[in-house]
Amino acid sequence: MRTADPTDARERARLELLEELRASVRALRSELEQRFGIRDAGPPEREPSVEIEAEPGVGSAEAAAGLFEGLGRQLRTRLDGVDVVKLYEALRERVSIPGAADVSAEVDEFGLDARFLSRARGWLDWLFDSWWRVQVTGIDLVPETGRVLFVANTAGILPWDALMVAHAVERLHPTGRRPRPLVADWLATLPFSQSRLARLGAVRACAENAERLLLADEWVIAFPEGQKGALKPFRERYRLRRFARGGFVPLAARLRAAIVPVAVVGAEEVYPIVFEPRLLRRLLGVPIPVTPTFPLLGPLGLIPLPSQWRIRFGEPIWFDDVAPERVSDPLYVNRTREQVRGVIQALLEEELPRRRSIFS
């Protein structure tokens, strides 16, 4: 019996990764050319080859370098006339981000700092109104009483979508309530983001925390696509990944919380992910996705692109009449989970054509 050659398996995996890289770069380049007329400064006739040479790694490395060099040239051309120092100073004057001196003496059990959040609202307003120009529909469908669990699609390196959905509800809903977003483990433990996210109301995503929040009559935002949804490549944008098993459906049914589906359009273009090196994730314990600006531009690459956003709230799904025994029925849970996923996908497909372009 012939055993599988591990070298062949590695080569196949490398080929699959390169094909994913090539498809993602093609999709991103096509979007840039269509919206801005940006084209590679090099020879336009031929795309860099991604053929695999006999010697492992040689052809693939050169091909990947060629693809990113072309995108890098496009971006550098666009940024040549930008005075980064002046831009930073202008943003710092316009958008005051609270620092350590603004920490309140009192925070709630999850770390929400009311004083910090109050100071940050000007910054969040600027992102909402000017940077992403968020348009919101369906906010009138959100219940005014009772427990509410928002379920949304997700995208991007940092959880801007979580902050914008929470901000939309607080600003536009009659109750003025601010939902608490659940954020992934790897985000909740990063030193540079953990404290700020917690102080803005975000909570580490797990069933126990979600239940405690709902029992305390807090509204909650969940992102059941998880990390796979947040880090999917640009060519797969707005195609929902499979939702995590169990999770939000039995919790909402048991606590009689209404599920409100939410579709977020715009977050996929904030950090258009070309690919995510799995080796780096294994070595560092956190994902390091590659975008046209990160890590090419260093920390500047983490500045989110000013895509135009649309947030759409759907009809609530109620559980008031659900018998207690159905909460533990896998068929019912799976069917309801897929129902929510289908609603969000349909909302995305309705909202996408309503943007004239990704940046306007």
Query: What's the rounded Cα separation, in Å, for the pair 322 and 256?
Result: 9
Mean pLDDT in the chain? 79
Omega before 277 cis (within 30°)? Answer: no
Same domain, 152 and 217: yes
When divided into structural domains, the chain yields a total of 2
Show which of 79, 103, 120 is a domain's final residue.
79
Owning domain of residue 56:
6-79
What value, to the nearest 5°, has the Cα angle with vertex 164 and ends 214 and 315? Answer: 60
Summarize the confidence of residues 7-19 as an average pLDDT: 63
Residues 6+ away with beta carbon under 8 Å from 357: 34, 35, 308
Q: In terms of domains, do 109 and 130 share one?
A: yes
Please give the structure tokens belonging to residue 304. 């989110």
Q: What sign results for the dihedral spanned by CA atoms 85, 87, 88, 92?
A: positive
For residue range 228-274, what is the model confidence (pLDDT) as tens digits?
Answer: 888 888 889 999 999 987 689 999 999 999 999 999 999 999 999 88
Q: Over the stretch 278-294, which tens digit does the pLDDT of each residue have?
A: 776 677 667 778 888 87
State the pLDDT confidence band at 186, using cuts at 50, 70 and 90: confident
Q: Does the pLDDT value for residue 104 go beyond 50?
A: yes
Give pTM, 2 decimals. Answer: 0.74
Span 66-79, mean pLDDT? Answer: 51
Does residue 61 sit in the same domain as residue 107? Answer: no
Q: Which has more confidence, 191 or 126?
A: 126
Decide which of 360 and 20 is more confident: 360
**DSSP tag of 127:** I
The average pLDDT across 14-26 equals 60
Task: Tell me the per-residue pLDDT of 322-346, one tens digit each, with 9 for 90 and over.
Answer: 998 899 899 999 999 999 999 999 9
- Inter-axis angle of helices 207-215 and 248-255, nearest 10: 20
Cα(226)–Cα(183) distance, integer angstroms = 9
Same structural domain, 66 and 92: no
Q: Please write the tens of the pLDDT for every residue from 130-171.
A: 999 999 999 999 999 999 999 999 998 889 999 999 999 999
What's the CA gap between 317 and 334, in Å, rounded? 15
**Is the same domain home to 249 and 204?**
yes
pLDDT in tens, 191-218: 567 678 999 999 999 999 999 999 999 9
Rounded distance between C-alpha atoms, residue 16 and residue 22, angstroms: 10
Domain with 341 in it: what CATH number?
A: 3.40.1130
pLDDT band at 317 (very low <50, low <70, confident <90, very high): very high
Residues 226, 344: one domain?
Answer: yes
Name the residue with tokens 């983490």: 302
Pure H helices in the chain? 6-36, 58-79, 84-94, 114-126, 160-172, 185-188, 191-199, 207-215, 226-230, 248-255, 278-284, 330-351
